[in-house]
Amino acid sequence: MVADRQRRLEKDAVSLLEAIALRAEAGRRVHGESARAVLRSIVEATVALFDAEAASIALYDAASDRLVFEVAAGEQGQGVIGLSIAPDQGIAGYVFRTGQALALSDVEHDSRFGRAVAEQTAYLPRSIVAVPLVSDERTIGVLEVLDKRGATTFSLRDIELAAIFAQQAATAISATRVERDVASLLASGLRALAAPDDPERATVEEIVLAATAGLGRDDDSRLWVLAEAVAGVRMADPAQLELVTEILDALARHAGRETRRRRRSRPGRGDPSEPG
Amino acid sequence: MELDLPAWSEPFVGERRAELGHLGPFGALDRDVAFGGSDGSGVRVAIIDSGVERDHPAVGGRLVASYRVEPTDEDPIVVEDPDAIDVVGHGTACAGIIHSLAPAAELISVRVLGPDNRGKGSNFAAGLIWAIEHGVTVANLSLSSRSEAFFGLFHELTDEAYFGNVLLVSAANNVPGPSYPSLFSSVVSVAAHDVADPWTWYYNPRPPVEFGAHGLDVDVAWRDGGRIVATGNSFAAPHIAGVAALIRAKHPTATPFEVKAMLAATAGR
């Protein structure tokens, strides 16, 4: 029967989508943590190389429109983690908004510089170098190094070295964004399956909802432990995106065929000609 | 790790400077001819940046107008900024440097930092368009955009400025990779050198970055009437903008191309 076939197809599609969404989310989690570990090791290396009091990385969070300090290293660095600042204020804001690296010293003489942040972290630096994190032509955050021990200022070479570390950090972050893109590709691909005027749109949306429901981000169920283990093995698999694309293509072809067939066999639910 | 990056300051630093030896066809052109006796009178220099503090002592009361870019649902617009504030200190630093070299030049602030709802480049572009349309003589751009989306627009604007007799002085980025408009040939691009002298600049015959100027440990004006020691190409550009203002005051009919040639002719060897 057509209705049975339809239900079976939807069930299969939901299972398939669940599997993809699960893997994408697991990948995001695993890579998110590994990216944070990479960022942490980058700021630690920065502190060691510069012999600095602190180094930190702030990333732009579009949802809150803030620059959020994600990781920090060095004796004086820890207090800054989790703080956020407006993206057009202060040194980090200037570097973020203009993409222009700069170094400042004698900052304790400046009346307001960093005081708001310093009050929260109980540390006011004497000198600071800030360089942008650039990924895909966009500035996504800022790397800062505070107080090089044994020198009162940062040199031009220091700025360039900091830029190299920032480049590494940006590369690590863009790798995790590919993972996040898998999930959004999945969702947008599914929405694209249904044209806006398609009477079957609701069904597709239901599929999306069913597939992504229960993908809570913070539960520690055994399912996640397993999924993360699987994702760990599959980490950095470049075929993943291709696979999702192929599945979506196949689904689109299938859904297109089904929709055409259903339209021939019965009017759509939204069809105004349907007698009431 | 790959360390051989396009470090734009490198040709101007230390022993590498020996490679800058380049004798242009400028025998008769020296600093006296180019800007001797000039104080920048009659020249209007726009500082497209974070704003300029009108009352900062380093600006010497020469800030004659202050504008800011305001985002709208359509393209951002440029409006007067009667408070003349600097949200960072960076623009005041640039203004102070220009004023120290060209004390009679009029300074105009175009603040392009602030709320920006259409991406980082659009405010900057709006400020640049304003400066070009209002016929400033020199514009200091210590900022740039990395977005490929702005390549075409900035290319068009810098050409418009060049042919419209507006000299754009643009800081090169310290960070590798393209940035606009600093790498276009129609602007005067500047990176920092490590000589502690505001009157020393170098010409690099191997572009894209053509000039090196004082940008290491520069004592600059900062917000709230303060001062700070700053390093970066951002602070090299206004040194060249200041000298360009002197040249344009002495040679009002000189075109951007001719001003650039005079900057090259009077550069250190």
- List, for residues B156-193, the tens digit of each pLDDT value: 999 999 999 999 999 998 776 777 888 899 999 999 99
Residue B61 tokens read as: 């009361």
Q: Is residue B26 part of a domain?
A: no
Please name the residue ranges forming H helices in chain B.
31-35, 90-101, 120-133, 151-163, 233-250, 256-265
For the cut 90, the answer to whether the pLDDT of residue A106 exceeds it is no
Residues whose CB is less than 8 angstroms from the CB of residue B33 and which lie 6 or more positions away in sequence, other chains included? none
User: What does the pLDDT average to over A137-154?
Assistant: 89
User: What does the pLDDT average to over A77-86?
Assistant: 85
Supply the pLDDT for residue A266.
Answer: 45
Q: Is residue B219 part of a domain?
A: yes
Domain that holds residue B111: 39-265
Q: Which CATH architecture has domain A50-173?
A: 2-Layer Sandwich (3.30)
Q: Which residue has the tokens 């044994």?
A: A150
Supply the pLDDT for residue B135.
Answer: 85
Is A134 within 8 Å of B194 when comparing Cβ atoms? no
Percentage of chain A beyond pLDDT 90 is 14
More confident residue, A139 or A35: A139
Q: Is residue B260 part of a domain?
A: yes
Task: Report the gap between the CA of A213 and the closest CA in chain B (Å).
Answer: 32
Pick out chain B residues at pLDDT < 50: 1-6, 117-118
- pLDDT-derived band at A16 (thresholds 50, 70, 90) equals low
Is A131 within 8 Å of B175 when comparing Cβ atoms? yes
User: What's the whole-model pTM score?
Assistant: 0.75
List, for residues A68-80, the tens digit of each pLDDT value: 999 999 988 888 8
Is B175 within 8 Å of A111 when comparing Cβ atoms? no
Q: Which residues of B touch A141 (CB under 8 A)?
A: none
Out of A8-22, A28-42, A186-200, least confident range = A186-200
Supply the pLDDT for residue B18.
Answer: 80
Other Cβ atoms less than 10 A from the Cβ of B44: the count is 21
Task: Report the gap between the CA of B87 and the closest CA in chain A (Å).
Answer: 7
Supply the pLDDT for residue B148.
Answer: 75
List, for residues A162-188, the tens digit of each pLDDT value: 998 898 888 888 776 665 555 555 665
Supply the pLDDT for residue A273.
Answer: 37
DSSP string of A69-120, one letter each residue: EEEEESTTTGGGTT-EE-TTSHHHHHHHHH---EEEE-GGGSSSTTHHHHHH
- pLDDT-derived band at A242 (thresholds 50, 70, 90) equals low
Query: Domain locations in chain A?
Result: 2-31+177-265, 50-173
CATH of the domain at B237: 3.40.50.200
More confident residue, A33 or B98: B98
Q: What is the 3-state secondary structure (H, E, C) of A182-210?
A: HHHHHHHHHHHHCCCCCCCHHHHHHHHHH
For the cut 60, the answer to whether the pLDDT of residue A197 exceeds it is no
| Count: domains in chain B | 1
Say whether residue A138 is in contact with chain B using an 8 A CB cutoff.
yes
Out of A133-142, A213-222, B84-93, least confident range = A213-222
Supply the pLDDT for residue A136.
Answer: 76
Task: Report the gap between the CA of B114 and the closest CA in chain A (Å).
Answer: 6
User: What does the pLDDT average to over A6-10?
Assistant: 66
Supply the pLDDT for residue B187.
Answer: 96
Is B146 within 8 Å of A134 when comparing Cβ atoms? yes
For the cut 60, the answer to whether the pLDDT of residue A216 exceeds it is no
The closest CB to that of A163, out of B146, B175, B225, belongs to: B175
The closest CB to that of B232, out of A89, A90, A100, belongs to: A100
